[in-house]
Structure 1
Amino acid sequence: MRPPAVSVPARDPAASIVGRFHALAAARQLAKPGLRRLLGLQIARTALRLGFAAMAAMAVGRLVMGQPVASWLVPVTIALLVAACLAGFVADRAQASGETAVSIGLRELAGKRLDEMPARQLQSLSVGGVIMSMQRHPEAIAALVVGHRAASAMMAAGPLLAVATLFLVSWQAALLVICLTPVMIVFFALIGDAIRRRADAQERAFGRLAGQFADRIRTLPTILANHAMASEEAKLAQRLEAYAGNTMGVLRIAFANAGIIDFFASLSIAILAVFLGLGHLKLATIPGFSNLELWQSLFILMIAPEYFAPFRRFSEQYHAKAEGLAAAAALDRLLDAEPVAAKSLPVLDRLRLTLPAHGLVAVVGPSGSGKSTLLRRLAGLEPGAHLLAAKEIAWVSTDAYVPEGTLAGAISWNAGAPDRIRLEDAARAIGLLDDALLPGGLDARLDKGGANLSGGQRLRIAVARAQLCGRTVLADEPTAKLDRETAEAVRRMLLEISGTRLVIVATHDRDLAAAADIMVDLTRDDTVEVAA
């Protein structure tokens, strides 16, 4: 009895990922618990520092003027200093742990997003861009939503606390420092656009550099074979110089920003010192600055730097805002890339296949005719009808999954629990035990993700695994880019498997296609030839 024919429907365009990825919104949600704790600690540190400044000014002023100092004043001053230092230490630790939690959470969300992507869309992403985004961008975004956000909040809370403290002694002095604040705010607004543009250019330059570097590592054998090392080094050096130039541009603006803040802070403190000095020397009568006791003048001079400290901290974090926004935009672009539409292949939409229970089915045709697309649709890797249950498929290609561990573990992964003899037979038949680049036989060590394997080695591991697992085999170009002996070993094993199971291959290999029981020819867009 002939098995039923099955059709391969067109890819459903509505099956792409639903919803957009908002890295910044996700990071802000992740940052909320840590940010509240951080703000509480920073406010406590500011209050303790203000208390210390007040107590120290009172103690020093009375000592200088020869007035009696209360016995409790010195120990309270020391206690406030120690408490302020401790609060600062705990706040810095809280900021670091908060940023770490956000970056870890963002990586997990980004990883899930990548897992949800269709295979075609995932393969279209730049390897270097993905690596750079997963390593660099979460930290930059975390610094924005934790460190910069806390600095922004403290730029309001810190000066308010300092001004309220100054009002206790001289409202005129408090008003003077407040009058200088709009100048700094205007400067922040003017410099913000410049540093944001620089940071965005820096992120793009780093992305291009990472992408080019990853591509050159992947194609290094070809580069060496064509004696093109010098020219590729020059290209990488050019990209590196562009990235370094953009980085220095961001740093120059950040340093200029910090310098301006220090200038205004020093100027305001100098003006306060002059007014207070003139008042103490009786050279001028300035309301709020004359007829003050020495401890009160010292109090004003010690509190004034605390008023400007949050602005200085904000200026130090300002470049983190620009870098974080650029990183969030880059991560969104990567994870919200438009799905790569499959090539319109009417031939596949009309194709009806009768799949036997076992045997070799070869799908042939020129590049771009739809061979790999047909395999992915059969396996359910692209949206559409899942003609073969995923759990019943063994996928063979140069990008097949390889776990970290030993060669034996990689071959037996998801293939049941074959004994040592079967593992050795499968590995030897496909030439893995004779590979000089895999010393140690079945105990040869494999890096995470098979990083120390070539595409051919990875493919042969997949073929040996398919031989042991007992499932239907889908093989994408299983003999491409292999030497003659290795290609022949792969053909032999696939033919051996097809004696008891169904094996479907997409191939340009004429010898493999000639040995097939059924050949599907996708040479022309308007016809399909199925030869038994």
Structure 2
Amino acid sequence: MPKRPSRPSPPNRQHVAGAVAAGTGAIRATDDRARWLASTVRVGGWRNHAAAALLALDGFGAIGFAAALGGALGGLGHGDRRLLHWIALGLAASMLRGLCTWGSVRCGSSASMHVRRVLGRRMMVACLGLPPGLRPTVGEMMVTAIDAVEAIDGYVARFLPARRCAGLVPPLILLAVAFASPICAVIMAATLVPFVLAMVLAGGAAAEESRRQFAALSRLSGLFADRIRSLPVVLAFQDEDRQARLLARSATDLQRRTFEVLRIALVSSAALEFFAAISVALVAVYAGFNLLGLLPFHIPEHLDLGRAVFVLALAPELYAPMRRLAAAYHDRQAAQSAADPMMRIERLARPVDAPRRRVLIPRLLATTRQLRFETAPAIRFDEATVQYPGEEHPALDRLALHIEPGEFVVLLGPSGSGKTTALHLLLGLAPLSAGEVWIDEHPLSELGSIASSVAWVGQSPLIIPASVAENVALSRPDAARSEVEEAVTRVGLCAMLLGSPDGLDRMLDERGGGLSGGERRRIALARALLRPAPVLLLDEPTAHLDEAAALAVIRAIRTVARGRTTLVATHSEALAAVADRVVRLGPPRLDSR
């Protein structure tokens, strides 16, 4: 018997469910993006509405100019004495259109500038508020805080006014045309439908390509910024050729995706112009044959010259708002593509209200809300735990430690035991997941950070391209010259200054060229000494120093720590020897001597 053809197997339920879930997720992501953009651009306030209103008012100017043109030409052959009135109306309508266009551009630019200023500040705070375990590279943060914010410009300044205008002006023009010629209004409305469909299809085709282009631009910008920062390491390991090839590959990918977006834009523009030309041609043919009485079929209306000119003058104006919207549609795609990384960063930096797990945005940019301590406070870690999202083990596990006011405590332990995390917790740079930290009687979970009361010395002291005095005065720019000299002397930098004829005015580059590792650390300690902060935090202050330099830095630390509550994370037994108390982290978890 012949074999019966096998039926195609029904789709797997899991595949169907996965496809439905993916589609639902895409719709939800689109809705979230739209809501985020709407709430973001709302800060533009009245400027947003003014730009759209002025652009819509330009439609009234177009109707007035078309009426003036039709009235003037229609009355020429009949000796119409109102010719001057029509000319005056045409001039007034032209001036109105010019003023409306200028005002719309100004209001749109002002709204965009205000939105970008507010959004840039939000992105900076969000980037600073990312937990270290989730923080992207510096290049990626630069792209988000600068390029992504700038991508909102066209969306606010051009697309939003054009979109609102496109919803108001075409119906208004169709209504004006219908009073002069209902048949022409029907022709224009019929040709408007394929025009809108072509624009929608072109926008959908360009959306994905635009997102890919922005992603390629972000990759190239981030890669370039990171490679510039690591240029000394690249040169030291003679890896220039490979890094150049990586940059060239990213640039080629961006070029290819940009050409794809341009290709779609050119094709869609040609399609839109085709339908607009068809509409104007149909209206012109109908009006011409109607005037000459040569229509092959009976039409109840008969156009005169004035009404025919009025209709012909308004036919291109029907599509002007749609053309403007199509030209700005790429700005919408760019803004939507830029919204994704900004939403992701804000979501990661947002506080989580779950009990016993708090991720707090550091208030480094809002120190006016922080409680500033005038005298050395007591610090108590009460089973404090830090666990970053996605990590299996906590970075700091149930630290219990009480530091008396003015006490000098050193944290010793192997790498990964949580020494640096304990310091970051006080600065608001690490999330308090469980337990509590008390500053005197104030919980850190409410303060968020005590950065305003801290003098901080990190593992890699910042050196800016300026003089030694300006580098030291970073912690207190209003410090007198004598105070800077005293701080430099007390940390033992006199030998370095005596070796330079410029002394404190010796210029440094951004890498601290000509300074030893110990001299860089002592500049950072001079900053801490100059800053009148009751808490001193130091992270590996003697790392990578030879014995003589380390001993000099230790003596300077002892000077700077006098009268302050001091907590130091280090591997150095020599530094631990001068501390009031040493706490060892790691297995066993805590051991004090």
Tell me which of 398, 412, 419 is aligned to 1:364.
Answer: 412
CA RMSD between the two structures: 3.6
SS at match of 1:168: helix
Kindly indicate whether residue 122 of structure 2 is the aligned counterpart of residue 109 of structure 1. Answer: yes
Is residue 2:428 matched to residue 1:377? no
Structure 1, residues 117-151: CA drift from partner, whole Å, max 9, x if none? 26536x72322222222222233334324522221
Secondary structure of residue in 1 paired with 2:543: coil
Measured in 2, the distance between the counterparts of 1:199 and 1:378 equals 43
CA drift of 1:238 comes to 1.4
- Counterpart CA distance in 2 for 1:111 and 1:365 is 34
- Paired with 1:289 and 1:437, the residues of 2 have a C-alpha distance of 102
The amino acid across from 2:305 in the alignment is L
Matches within 5 A, 1:44-443: 44-63=57-76, 65=77, 67-68=79-80, 70=82, 71-114=84-127, 117=129, 120=132, 124-285=135-296, 291-337=302-348, 340-341=388-389, 349-353=397-401, 355=403, 360-377=408-425, 381-382=429-430, 383=432, 385-388=436-439, 390=450, 392-398=453-459, 407-408=468-469, 410-412=471-473, 420-427=481-488, 429=491, 431=493, 434=496, 441-443=503-505
* Structure-2 change in CA distance of 1:372 and 1:158 (3 Å): same
Shift of 1:504: 2.7
Partner of 2:534: 471
Pick one of 454, 461, 465 that aligns with 2:523: 461
C-alpha separation between the residues in 1 aligned to 2:191 and 2:499?
70
Distance 2:105 2:218 in 1: 30
Task: Give, as a single letter, the amino acid of the residue that structure 2 aligns with 1:518.
Answer: R
Secondary structure at the aligned position of 2:295 is classed as: coil
| Aligned residue among 56, 72, 94 for 1:43 | 56
Which stretch shows the higher mean deviation, 298-307 or 476-485? Answer: 476-485
When residues 453 and 275 of structure 1 are mapped into structure 2, their CA distance, relative to the original with a 3 A threshold, is: farther
Give 1:397's aligned amino acid: G
User: 1: CA distance between counterparts of 2:399 and 2:308?
Assistant: 91
Q: Which moved more, 1:472-481 or 1:500-509?
A: 500-509
Asked if 2 retains the 8 angstrom alpha-carbon contact of 1:397 and 1:477, the reply is yes
> Aligned partners of 2:334, 2:511: CA distance in 1, in Å?
34
Q: Structure 1's 472 and 155: CA in aligned 2 closer, same or farther, altered over 3 A?
A: closer
Question: In structure 1, what is the equivalent of residue 367 of structure 2?
Answer: none
- Conserved? CA contact 2:395–2:421, under 8 Å: no
Distance 1:120 1:194, change over 3 A: same
| Cα separation, partners in 2 of 1:484 and 1:77, compared to 1, 3 Å | farther
Cα distance in 1 for partners of 2:192, 2:158 equals: 22
Secondary structure of 1:475's match? strand
Match of 2:363 in 1: none
Task: Please tell me whether the aligned partners of residues 158 and 307 of structure 1 are also in contact (alpha carbons under 8 angstroms).
Answer: yes
Residue 17 of structure 2 corresponds to: none
What's the offset of the Cα at 1:163?
A: 0.8
Q: Which runs of 5+ in 2 are unaligned?
A: 1-31, 350-358, 360-387, 441-449
How far apart are 1:401 and its partner, in Å?
7.6
Question: Structure 1's 271 and 406: CA in aligned 2 closer, same or farther, altered over 3 A?
Answer: same
Partner residue in 2 for 1:6: none
- Residue 218 of structure 2 aligns to a residue whose secondary structure is helix
Q: Cα–Cα, structure 1 residues 221 and 250, in superposed 2: closer, same or farther, change >3 Å?
A: same
Q: Within 2, Cα distance between the matches of 1:288 and 1:432?
A: 101
CA contact (8 A) 1:478 1:507 kept: yes
CA distance in 2, matches of 1:422, 1:215: 37
Q: Secondary structure of 2:437's match?
A: coil
Deviation at 1:311, TM superposition (A): 0.9
Deviates more, 1:21-30 or 1:93-102: 21-30
Is contact 2:211–2:334 with CA below 8 Å preserved after alignment?
yes
Per the alignment, residue 42 of structure 2 pairs with 29
SS of residue paired to 1:529: strand
More divergent stretch after superposition (358-367 vs 31-40): 358-367
Preserved contact between residue 347 and residue 528 of structure 1 (Cα < 8 Å): no
Gaps of 5+ in 1: 1-19
Q: Distance in 2 between matches of 1:342 and 1:509?
A: 32
Q: CA deviation at 1:171?
A: 0.4
Partner AA of 2:193 in structure 1 = P
User: Mean Cα displacement is larger for which, 383-392 or 298-307?
Assistant: 383-392
1:176, distance to aligned residue in structure 2 (A): 0.3
Q: Distance in 2 between matches of 1:259 and 1:433?
A: 74
Query: Do the aligned residues in 2 keep the contact of 1:52 with 1:81 (CA within 8 Å)?
Result: yes
Q: 1:432 touches 1:460 (CA, 8 Å); kept in 2?
A: no
Relative to structure 1, the CA distance from residue 431 to residue 483 in structure 2 (aligned partners, 3 Å threshold; closer, same or farther) is: farther
1:298-318 deviation per Cα after TM superposition (whole angstroms, max 9, x unaligned)? 222111000111110110011
Q: 1:111 to 1:470 in 2, by over 3 A?
A: closer
Which has the bigger relative contact order, CA under 8 A and spacing at least 6? 1
The number of residue pairs the alignment matches comes to 505
After TM superposition, the score normalised by the length of structure 2 is: 0.75
In the alignment, which residue of structure 2 is the partner of 1:3? none
Offset of residue 368 of structure 1: 1.5
| Contact 2:55 2:104 (C-alpha < 8 Å) held by counterparts | yes
Describe the shift of the 1:172–1:210 C-alpha distance in structure 2 as closer, same or farther (beyond 3 A): same
* Counterpart amino acid of residue 38 in structure 2: A
Note if contact 1:430-1:486 (Cα within 8 Å) is conserved in structure 2: no
Q: Which amino acid aligns with 1:434?
A: M
Do the aligned partners of residues 159 and 499 (structure 1) sit closer, same or farther apart at CA in structure 2, a change above 3 Å counting?
Answer: closer
SS at match of 2:436: coil
Instruction: Give distance in 2, aligned partners of 1:436 and 1:481.
Output: 25
Task: State the Cα distance separating 1:485 from its structure 2 match.
Answer: 6.2
